[in-house]
A and B are shown apart, each in its own frame.
Chain A
Amino acid sequence: MLTLRANDDADFRQIYTATMPVLFKIAYRIAGTEEAAEDLCHDALIKMTEKDMQFPSINDAKYWLIRVVKNASLNYAKRKGRERRAYERALKEDRRTIDSGETELLKSDSVRRVQSALEKLPENLKVVLQLKEYGELNYKEIGRVLGITEGNVKVRVFRAREQLSRLIGVDDVYMP
């Protein structure tokens, strides 16, 4: 049976090429910066070789790596969030404004509103939606990554979207 060895150079290269783009997307969305996302993905790939992982298929490698990257990114974001909040409290500094044209501002404002609304979701809903939209995984795959059933994924995605709709709708009312 064909297996992929993390410590085999050709296999490692194959896993990297197949998974790095999606890992990067997920890590970027959770961690917030490209540098951090790249580092977090590298950490996960190194961990894979250190543990001498073997996978029956490229998808198994992908699920494992996504899980590692997701957890590491969440930890990173939590730490950064704490640091930023402490920093903002200390200096009473406003969040930086976006300097661009007015239409660009409006467009990015609605984007920003959706993305900041996502941050307000409870974690179990947020992660499912992040894996869905950034990881481009189907419900079954998300279930495998998170260790939950496909039906549970379906429910969580739906609830996440409903809560987001409500948050954005509320924002629309109070922010003309």
Chain B
Amino acid sequence: MSTCPDPDLFSAYFDGEVPSPWKEKLESHLSSCPECKKRTTQYARIRKGLISNQPELTTDRLEASYSQLVARMGNRPQVSRNEGIGRYAQWFRASVNIPLPAAAAILLVAVMIPTLLARNSAPNQGSYQLASANQQALYPFGNDVRALESSVPVYGPELPALNVSDSGVNHRDRRAFTMVEYARHFAADNDLFRDAEIVIIKLPDLTNFSNSGNQIVDESDSLIPVSNSYR
């Protein structure tokens, strides 16, 4: 018994995994040892038991299965080189396949939202125009206000628009026309602004003024409204 080779050798021998010199030795041992012979017979029995009832793939069946596989893969013959992109393209194509009612609903929303937004913004535009109209009314310094008459009383921005003629003022020498001068000329009380160097104006809430707001008349003697503020 002790002369028997390791039993795992017979398993390997049975699978044809034992190379030539040892293979023959095992074979000669098997012919003389009933124990080891029994072992290999058992291996053969197991193999037979395992591989019986094996369904065979006939050539026809193999072909049919291939057709099924191709059908399952869909566009197998035109499959792209880069399958990843192909898959995303398929996903995209599938995802934009929207039912008609849903598409109609989306279109409706797409039309309605800008309309609603336009409606909402329309009053804002109106109020903006109103505001500029107010400014026009409150600060009527168009080309009409070229020159000044000391007789015209000015108290504040609430006064109505005035058309003032430029007679009596030599504005050729005039470089700038300051708020102090404006106040001296237009104030009802001629002495009120005589010694004034600055004039503090309470601004209406709806208007922003730039920092350089004290110089209100430029070279061309006109007041230019720059987006809600005056220069």
Q: What is the bound-complex CA distance between A165 and B40, given in angstroms?
A: 11
Are B11 and A158 neighbours in the complex by a CB distance under 8 Å? Answer: yes
Are A20 and B11 neighbours in the complex by a CB distance under 8 Å? Answer: no
Say yes or no for B22: interface residue by CB 8 A criterion.
no
Distance (whole angstroms) from the CB of B191 to the closest CB of chain A:
96
Are A49 and B11 neighbours in the complex by a CB distance under 8 Å? Answer: no
Could you mark each residue 1-24 of chain B with 1 if its beta carbon is under 8 Å from any beta carbon of chain A, else 0? 000000110011001110000000
Say yes or no for A25: interface residue by CB 8 A criterion.
yes
Are A52 and B82 neighbours in the complex by a CB distance under 8 Å? Answer: yes
Are B7 and A111 neighbours in the complex by a CB distance under 8 Å? Answer: no
Q: What is the bound-complex CA distance between A162 and B45, given in angstroms?
A: 12
Q: What is the bound-complex CA distance between A133 and B84, given in angstroms?
A: 37
Say yes or no for B165: interface residue by CB 8 A criterion.
no
Are B17 and A138 neighbours in the complex by a CB distance under 8 Å? Answer: yes
Could you mark each residue 127-150 of chain A with 1 if its beta carbon is under 8 Å from any beta carbon of chain B, else 0? 001001110001100000000000
Are B77 and A115 neighbours in the complex by a CB distance under 8 Å? Answer: no
Closest to A28 in B: B55
Q: Contacting chain A: which of B66-74, B146-154, B207-215?
A: B66-74
Are A161 and B68 neighbours in the complex by a CB distance under 8 Å? Answer: no
User: Which residues in A have their C-beta under 8 angstroms from that of B11?
Assistant: 154, 157-158, 161
Are A42 and B83 neighbours in the complex by a CB distance under 8 Å? Answer: no
Interface size class of chain B, counting residues whose CB lies under 8 Å from the partner chain: 35 or more
Say yes or no for B171: interface residue by CB 8 A criterion.
no
Please pick, from A38, A52, A158, the residue contacting B84 in the complex, using a CB distance under 8 A: A52
Could you mark each residue 64-100 of chain B with 1 if its beta carbon is under 8 Å from any beta carbon of chain A, else 0? 0110110011001101111110010000000000000
Say yes or no for A99: interface residue by CB 8 A criterion.
no
Q: What is the bound-complex CA distance between A115 and B54, given in angstroms?
A: 12
Say yes or no for B47: interface residue by CB 8 A criterion.
yes
Q: Count how many chain A residues have C-beta atoms less than 8 Å from C-beta atoms of the other chain.
A: 44
User: Which residues in B have their C-beta under 8 angstroms from that of A88?
Assistant: none
Q: Are A168 and B72 also in contact (CB < 8 A) when A25-B54, A49-B79, A161-B11 are? A: no
Please pick, from A28, A41, A113, the residue contacting B49 in the complex, using a CB distance under 8 A: A113
Say yes or no for B42: interface residue by CB 8 A criterion.
yes
Q: What is the bound-complex CA distance between A157 and B65, given in angstroms?
A: 32
Say yes or no for B110: interface residue by CB 8 A criterion.
no
Q: Are A42 and B87 also in contact (CB < 8 A) when A20-B57, A165-B46 are? A: no
User: Which residues in B have their C-beta under 8 angstroms from that of A24?
Assistant: 55, 57
Closest to B40 in A: A161
Could you mark each residue 38-65 of chain B with 1 if its beta carbon is under 8 Å from any beta carbon of chain A, else 0? 0100110111011111110100001001
Could you mark each residue 47-87 of chain A with 1 if its beta carbon is under 8 Å from any beta carbon of chain B, else 0? 00111100000000000000000000000000000000000
Could you mark each residue 100-144 of chain A with 1 if its beta carbon is under 8 Å from any beta carbon of chain B, else 0? 000000001011011100100000000001001110001100000
Are B8 and A158 neighbours in the complex by a CB distance under 8 Å? Answer: yes
Are A165 and B42 neighbours in the complex by a CB distance under 8 Å? Answer: yes
Q: What is the bound-complex CA distance between A162 and B43, given in angstroms?
A: 9
User: Which residues in A have their C-beta under 8 angstroms from that of B79?
Assistant: 7, 9, 49
Q: What is the bound-complex CA distance between A133 and B65, given in angstroms?
A: 23
Are A114 and B50 neighbours in the complex by a CB distance under 8 Å? Answer: yes
Q: Give the top 7 A-B pairs by smallest Cβ distance, nearest first.
A: A114-B49, A158-B11, A158-B8, A133-B50, A42-B69, A111-B52, A165-B42
| 19 chain-A/chain-B pairs, Cβ below 8 angstroms | A7-B80, A7-B81, A9-B77, A12-B76, A16-B66, A17-B62, A20-B57, A21-B62, A28-B55, A41-B65, A49-B79, A50-B87, A111-B52, A115-B50, A139-B12, A139-B15, A154-B12, A154-B17, A161-B11
Q: Give 8 A-B pairs besides A20-B65, A161-B43 with Cβ atoms closer than 8 angstroms.
A: A24-B55, A49-B76, A133-B51, A138-B15, A154-B11, A157-B12, A158-B11, A161-B46
